[in-house]
Amino acid sequence: MLRGPSRLVGWATGGLAAGAVIAAAAVPGMAGARPAPDTPLQIQSASLAQQGQQLVWQIQLAQPFSPGGLAQDHRTLCLLLSGARPAGASAQLCVAGPARRSTTPRILYSPISRGGVVGRARAVAATITRASDSALAAAFLPSDVGIGYAPLRWQVISAVLPPACGASTGCSTAFPSNPPLLLLHTPRVVGCAPNGPSLVYSGPAHTRQIALTFDDGPSYTPPPSAFLSVLERDHVPATFFEIGEQIATYDHGGAYERRMLADGDMIGDHTWSHPDVTRLSPAEQRAQLLGTAAAIRKAAGGFTPCLWRPPYGSVSPSIVSLARSLGFITVMWDVDPRDWTTPGVPAIYGNVIANARDGAIVLQHFGGGPRYETVAALSQEIPTLRHEGYTFVTVTEMLGLRLLYR
């Protein structure tokens, strides 16, 4: 925790001011070779790289170290970040010991003003691993540390603070000696990894989550943009199960698919021509699934779905097994307002609200007939469900599936 605002001198070629780094929480240090009390921990190697959505910071020291013991020894180990132009750091991330009742090290983030003042520290949601007692790796989202997917410079500073270091500005070493440029790019989702059960009707019943799903599109009555505009306005993600043969007809160039993915929505496979797949041969079933996956991949610029939904809800153990062998989880539903019968906006809305529950997967349609009632009902469903405490998620998020990025 910071003892008060500190001032940062700038990028280090010989070190930073003593107040430029955060003191970590103190726990007993690790046994092993240790440098002199007034000597910084020596950095053998360090790297910062983009992996999908995340930045991954890796450090290897010349000796064992305890994240919790850094503060006890008046030491700091921090990553400095800035924009592409080397005009001084704009953020720092420092290794710290575990929080109370935890054994996992933390990464503390502090913003740095243009005047070099280090702001209040807070822990970020980083995934921290240790391959050895002299190494550490931390993965985190750029947005969690106040930056976007733009070029940046970075440098790792190992420092000893007064009174352990006699110099009034502290003793530090930097790696690398000059901050290198890292070119970040906005990650693009290209798929998802199936995991867990092969057939699902709902998500976990202990979380206040709900997944809105839409079948039978794309279509023109109305176009997918009508649904997307409502979801975008209310910042709600959804899952769309598409019919393969309709993609080229109703979504020339894949504009809707790309918009869905950019919004954080998920796209699933709803077969090529919407048949009862239980009446098809295994070869025909494969063609229905793989043909649609290929159409989605072409339209969406490389995205391959890992979810599929059987038309009419017709399912069998054999098709579930075949789908899983092809990389698909079979997704059913547990809330069905039967909007395909066009029962009227109040009926669709009332059914969804009355049957909503924790972990529910709601079936509605964005194709297969005129779906203006569904769009209108959706505009009413969202605020009511949100008022009732539900968080909206995609099916992949509800099932805890890992997204693949490029």
Q: How far apart are CA 361 and CA 225, in angstroms?
A: 22
Contact 153, 86 (CB under 8 A): yes
Please tell me the distance from the alpha carbon of residue 234 to that of residue 276, in angstroms, as a whole number.
Answer: 35
- The percent helix, strand, coil of the chain (3-state, each to 5) is 25, 30, 45
Each residue of 306-335: b (16+ CB within 10 Å) or e?
Answer: bbbbbbeeebeeebbebbbebbbbbbbbbb
Q: Which of 74, 270, 274, 365 is catalytic?
A: 365
> Could you tell me which residues are beta bridge partners of residue 254?
none
Name the amino acid, one letter, at 359.
Answer: G
Annotation marks residue 215 as catalytic: yes
Q: What's the CA gap between 393 and 402, in Å, rounded?
A: 14
What are the C-alpha distances in Å from 284 to residues 11, 199, 274, 290, 312? Answer: 62, 20, 12, 10, 17
Catalytic residue, chosen from 73, 74, 215, 265, is 215
- The SS3 call for residue 392 is strand
Q: Which two tokens stand for residue 396?
A: 């992949």
322 contact partners, CB below 8 Å, separation of at least 6: 282, 285, 286, 289
Residue with tokens 């496979």: 269
Closest C-alpha to 389, from 353, 363, 364 = 353
In this structure, is the dihedral angle defined by the CA atoms of residues 115, 147, 177 and 118, taken in order, positive or negative?
A: positive
Structure tokens at 253: 């160039």
Query: What are the catalytic residues?
Result: 215, 365
